[in-house]
Amino acid sequence: MWRCGRGNSEDAFWPDLGSKYTAWSSVSTLIQKNLVMKTHNPARYSLTEEGLALGERLESLEGTKGPEGDGEEARSEGNEQEEGGPGIVDLTVSDDDEEEKEEERIQPTERPTPSASRPRVLVPGMFFSGKPQNVPSRKSWSLLPGSYEIILCVDFIETTGGSKNCKQDLVKELQRNGVTFDVRKLNVGDFLWVAREKVAPIPGQLRTPVARELVLDYIIERKRMDDLCGSIIDGRFREQKFRLKRCGLRNPCYLVEEYGKAASHLSLPESTLQQAIINTQVIDRFFVKRVQDVRESMAYLTVMTRYLNKLYQNCTLTCRSRELEGDGEEEERGTPPCSLISFAEFNHGAIKNKSQTVKEVFARQLMQVSGLSGDKAAAVLELYSTPLSLLTAYERCAGEADKEKLLSSIRYGKLKRNLGPALSRTVYQLYCTQGALT
């Protein structure tokens, strides 16, 4: 159960002396359980209807006594709650939490010690907003200038299978250009860069310590024209764009290789492919770099690698949790973002077939609607995070006209344009024909 440690709600976001837990440790769980809603950038948090109802329930269970109440009674209640007594509503129970609790039983010295001087938590205090950039993370660590090197990571698919000549050309070009690269499995994207910690062998140990890695905010998806054609036909192209936007990196890029005269013999007209590229750049706001062949692609990656080496050469890099994505300070122009995600967390979060929350599945369902892009789906999810919440909103409308216009005023993207009546009507008609958008 999430507990704040002090009377001041802001103090709860700082760890107690000797403790690695803060109020931020459970925010992502509250969001997944649809108790807290995250909006805006920098982030703002507020309770959902379910969260507010649960907060009122918890407040009623707390009674009327506050921090000035009887100390002995507070201690006895605290002990009763720690022992799993009545009146406890666990907000964070899950299989992962059970494993964490088991670890805490094995290491009891790491568990925060309850104090009689601490007031009991009031969940309505969760109404907060602002920039938690100064909040220490329990997984926070830093790489100082000179203690790391910039490495280009190449997805192993780019070097194996398919046309062997093209794959070999890719590796040879990078080697010829003197680029330090590492071939590994990337769950999203084809190329990215990491800041890898420089580690030295320890005398008396067989293996060198594992180097820590932070992912720079640049990721590239490489598309040849024939690959682009196939991904548009089977629907992968829209899904890939959605996953790139949600991967946690701020600068996704498409590297498009022309297919020469062979582009006119593909399954889709060349005009359709060109329009898809333009839409990716103008509507989806991806940076698109167009090149002629593999050699030009590798030249671009070489230039990018050298640019990033120069950009980050005097920077102290800090590991941030993906849970706090978008909560950091706004970066000044010309200054690289120095609060980065670890590679392990990034790659795990990008697993394609991992277990998904209801909100993530609902997002995929919405994106199957013609004309509903990732930005538009995200805007709908801010108000209706599950199919049930959207269906409930439809049922509350007075008539058919109101139902058709329910989503029309939702604003999306940086320009905050309205979703529009046509798309709102399409979503509602889908609801009528299929019942639950499935």
Residues facing residue 222 across a β-bridge: 255
> 3-class DSSP state for residue 66?
coil
Residue 190 annotated in active site: yes
At what angle are helices 236-245 and 225-234 packed, to 10 degrees? 100
Place of tokens 């905010």: 217
Cα–Cα distance, 410 to 348 (Å, whole number): 32
Beta carbons within 10 angstroms of residue 34's beta carbon: 18
Q: Residue 47: CB partners within 8 Å, gap ≥ 6? A: 35, 36, 37, 55, 123, 124, 126, 127
Residue 155 annotated in active site: yes
Residues in the chain: 438
The amino acid occupying position 241 is: K
Put residue 437 in one of left, alpha, beta given phi > 0 → left and psi -120 to 50 → alpha.
left
Question: Out of 11, 82, 90, 158, which one is annotated catalytic?
Answer: 158
**Tokens (6 digits) for 4:** 């704040």
Cα–Cα distance, 306 to 152 (Å, whole number): 10
Cα dihedral 126/131/135/140 (nearest 10) = 120
Q: Residue 148: CB partners within 8 Å, gap ≥ 6? A: 195, 196, 197, 198, 214, 317
Q: Are 404 and 392 in contact (CB under 8 A)?
A: no
Instruction: Determine how β-strand 191-197 pairs with β-strand 417-418.
Output: unpaired
Q: Could you tell me what percentage of the chain is helix, strand and coil, using 3-state DSSP and rounding each to the nearest 5? A: 45, 15, 40
Question: Out of 77, 173, 190, 197, which one is annotated catalytic?
Answer: 190
Residue 169 annotated in active site: no
Q: Is 386 exposed, middle or buried (0-12, 13-18, 19+ CB in 10 A)?
A: middle
Q: Which of 92, 203, 222, 93 lies closest to 162 in space, CA to CA?
A: 222
User: Residue 273: how many CA atoms within 13 Å on its side-chain side?
Assistant: 23
Cα–Cα distance, 108 to 100 (Å, whole number): 12
Question: Out of 16, 49, 59, 155, which one is annotated catalytic?
Answer: 155
Terminal Cα-to-Cα distance of the chain (whole angstroms): 34
Query: Could you give the residue numbers annotated as active site?
Result: 155, 158, 190
